[in-house]
Chain A
Amino acid sequence: QVTLRESGPALVKPTQTLTLTCSFSGFSLSTNGMCVSWIRQPPGTALEWLARVNWDDHKYYSTSLKTRLTISKDTSKNQVILTMTDMDPVDTATYYCARMIYGGPFDYWGPGTLVTVSS
């Protein structure tokens, strides 16, 4: 079955760079049509899509955050990595990774990882 799990630091300081890893199983990012996205949710608020990487290594970013985000994949390890630079307290959120099939919705989600930005 398809599973995803996020990992990374629970606490980062302002101005630092955040690196999150999404480890998944049950599908391969080398299969045509497979994609993985990152989505975040600040406490008590709505979901915000951040970035996506496709099976063909095409990458897409949120317009408002594209200068701070980098997404990459390691197909051999079944992992997707997200880096976000210049972290600020407003970036405090639960960060999710989710699978989508090209042109479709997010059909499987990881449980999420809470990242707090504080000095």
Chain B
Amino acid sequence: DIVLTQSPGTLSLSPGERATLSCRASQSVTNRYLAWYQQRPGQAPRLLIYGASSRAPGIPDRFSGSGSGTDFTLTISRLEPEDFAVYYCQQYGSSRTFGEGTKVEIK
């Protein structure tokens, strides 16, 4: 199975700042089949990005994804209060695996 490693484990930032989250795969992700999810406390994950860079319906354009092969990035251009949450990457090119998550917390 493809192992996804997310970094950093925790990101401490202030509202309005830019967040950059990394996801590295143990082998190349087929066809950029890489998704990002946001999970707020007590809620189910919500799809943000699929195909490495396509925003899901209804997702604000401050969220953007990039990358290919084994290295992927989620960027939140300006953090809003509701963006403080845990973010998971997931690959769906070979079976399905998730990363360990990055918590974005208020500094």
Contacts and interface: CB of A to CB of B under 8 A. Distances in A.
B56 A46 contact: no
B98 interface: yes
A103 interface: yes
Given A47-B45, A109-B44, A109-B45, A103 B92 contact: yes
Contact of B50 (A48, A60, A105): A105
Could you tell me the dominant secondary structure of chain B's interface residues? loop
Contacts of B45: 47, 96, 106, 109
B44 A49 contact: no
Interface in B52-107: 56, 88, 90, 92, 95-101
B1 A63 contact: yes
A42 to B, nearest CB: 12
A46 B90 CA distance: 11
Nearest to A111: B44
A106 B98 CA distance: 12
B46 interface: yes
Contacts of B46: 109
A89 to B, nearest CB: 21
Given A109-B45, A109-B46, A112-B44, A49 B96 contact: yes
Interface of A: 37, 46-49, 52, 60, 63, 96, 100, 103-107, 109-112
A103 B50 CA distance: 11
A106 B99 contact: no
B98 A107 contact: no
Nearest to B4: A46
Given A47-B88, A63-B1, A104 B50 contact: yes
A107 B46 CA distance: 8
B47 interface: yes
Nearest to B92: A105
Nearest to B56: A107
